[in-house]
Amino acid sequence: MDYQLDVYFYQEWKDERLKHNGSGPLLIRDKAVFKKLWHPDIYFANARQASFQEITEDNFLVWIYPNGRIWYDCRISLVAICMMDLWKYPLDSQTCELRILSYAYPENHLRLRWSKRIDPPIDRNMGIKMPDMELVRITTGECNGSYVTGTWSCQTAVFYVERAMLHHIIQTYVPTSLIVIISWFNFWLDIDAAPARVTLSITTLLTIATQANAVKLALPEVSYMKAIDSWMGMCMAFVFAVMVEYTIAHFAKNQEYLFQLAGQASQTPLVVDTDGFNTLLVATKKDVAEVVVDDDDVDTPVEIEQYLTSEQLLNRHWRKNGVRCAIQRRTAHKQWGRGQKEQLARDEIVGEFAQFSKCAANGRRHFEKKW
């Protein structure tokens, strides 16, 4: 990552050739004159961009004192590279350095050091603050390095910064926490209110995903998990767990209701009146009664299937002489209570047996004998 600096850069050196008899220092404001003087070829090793401030005039000056001491002052804007470790983000603190060294002169020709005239050698403008970071302290040191061409003098400035948490608490932690709490409202909604519960869960899940994506866009892509990624992942896991809980609870309730209907049906005999004869039929959840009627060498299979669900009866099929008598599916009205659905199931079976009794009229005697 990068960080920006706007610095007043001071350099001081002594050149015996520039001694003069003046009563005070000489001021030089012409760059052409300054370039004719010898001056250190300083550059910033880890700077991505650097430029002199030139508005409204060139921001530089040179003082030449009578004893040959030269004071060079300029204003520079820098964009430097900082290798940040973001695995604790946004609870992290970073260390960024600025490396200063000569480009052409090795250490035996030019040695750099921080000035002792100013303490500390690096100071900051207290009126300027970063919105999301806080500069804790600045330290200086040496970073001399050996290369193929020799040993080069190097000085470094180290900036210690800490991330301000209030911004991330307001923008990230509080909203995502509230979203997770809102998803928990599902637990107080009626279990049969499927549209409301599913909509609430999906909406909160998508909101957290959008929030996580917005956080990632503000950071560089890294190959490791950050602290904010763990937080977002846990929030999404809590919301997803709410959806899983509702799915399991709804499935369990439906299964329990099916077992209750099956138990009531197995304990309640249904009396079917088919043209004057009574047949006792005990219907359970998985009972299948099959009656074969023989009349005039005609086999008439009569198959009765009953499978009760919470809202509908499965189709029942009657066949006689190759002709299918099909009963269409009937569904109880959604606003009826559970007891009315059960009564509807019984009434449907009784009515449909009476309506289609003619399908088994030729086999009445065998039918009555079977039952």
Q: In this structure, how many other beta carbons lie within 10 angstroms of the beta carbon of residue 353?
A: 21
Question: Is pLDDT of 111 > 60?
Answer: yes
In angstroms, the CA 30 to CA 61 distance is: 8
Q: Which of 8-17, 118-127, 223-232, 283-292 shows the lowest mean pLDDT across its residues?
A: 283-292
The secondary structure of residue 297, as a DSSP letter, is: T
Sketch the domain layout of the chain as residue ranges.
2-163, 167-264, 270-370
**pLDDT at residue 265, rounded to an integer:** 57
Mapping DSSP to helix (H, G, I), strand (E, B) and coil, where does residue 307 land?
coil
Which one is the CATH code of 167-264: 3.40.50.300, 3.30.160.20, 1.20.58.390, 1.10.287.4070?
Answer: 1.20.58.390
Contact 80, 48 (CB under 8 A): yes
Q: What percent of the chain has pLDDT over 70?
A: 69
Mean pLDDT of 253-275: 61
Cis peptide before 120 (omega within 30 of 0): yes
Which DSSP symbol is given to 369?
H
Q: Specify the pLDDT at position 263.
A: 66
Averaged pLDDT for residues 72-93: 91
What pLDDT, on the 0 to 100 scale, is given for residue 299?
Answer: 42
pLDDT band, very low/low/confident/very high, at 257 (cuts 50, 70, 90)? low
* Residues 310 and 259: beta-carbon distance below 8 Å: no
User: Using CA atoms, how far apart are residues 102 and 44, in angstroms rounded to an integer?
Assistant: 9
pLDDT band (50, 70, 90) for residue 366: very low
* Spatial contact of 138 and 118, defined as CB atoms under 8 Å apart: no
pLDDT at 239: 92
**The pLDDT of residue 347:** 52
Phi, psi dihedral angles at 209 (to 5 degrees): -60, -40
Higher pLDDT, 257 or 88: 88
State the pLDDT at residue 235: 93
What mean pLDDT comes out for the span 208-223? 87
* Bridge partners, 62 (sequence order): 28, 72
Mean pLDDT of the chain: 75
pLDDT in tens, 267-321: 555 444 444 434 434 444 334 334 334 444 444 444 343 333 333 433 443 333 3
- 285 has which bridge partners? none
pLDDT confidence of residue 128: 83
**Cβ 284 vs Cβ 304: under 8 Å:** no
The C-alpha atoms of residue 13 and residue 39 are separated, in whole angstroms, by 8
Question: Within a 10 A sphere around the Cβ of 35, how many other Cβ atoms?
Answer: 8
Please choose, from the candidates 280, 293, 275, 279, the residue with its C-alpha nearest in 3D space to the C-alpha of residue 354: 275
pLDDT classification of 116: cutoffs 50, 70, 90: confident
Structure token digits, residue 250: 């709804």
The contacts found for 50-54 with CB under 8 angstroms, 24 or more apart, are: 50/76, 50/77, 50/78, 50/79, 51/76, 51/77, 52/76, 52/77, 53/77
Per-residue DSSP letters for 100-124? EEESS--TTT------SSSSSSS--
320 or 11, higher pLDDT: 11
Average pLDDT over residues 118-122: 85
pLDDT of amino acid 340:
52
Q: What superfamily would CATH give domain 2-163? A: Neurotransmitter-gated ion-channel ligand-binding domain (2.70.170.10)
Helices (H), the chain: 31-35, 165-168, 174-183, 194-217, 227-267, 338-355, 364-370
- Mean pLDDT is lowest, of 13-17, 77-81, 94-98, 131-135, for 131-135
- pLDDT-based confidence at residue 251 (cuts at 50, 70, 90): confident
Angstrom distance (rounded) from CA 42 to CA 105:
10
Show Cβ contacts of residue 211 under 8 Å, excluding neighbours closer than 6 positions. Answer: 172, 175, 176, 179, 232
Judged by average pLDDT, the poorest of 8-22, 304-318, 337-351 is 304-318
Identify which has the larger pLDDT, 46 or 260: 46
> Mean pLDDT across the stretch 7-32?
91
Least confident of 38-47, 60-69, 226-235, 325-334: 325-334
Give the per-residue pLDDT at 8.
92
Contact indicator for 44, 81 with CB cutoff of 8 Å: no
pLDDT of residue 370: 43
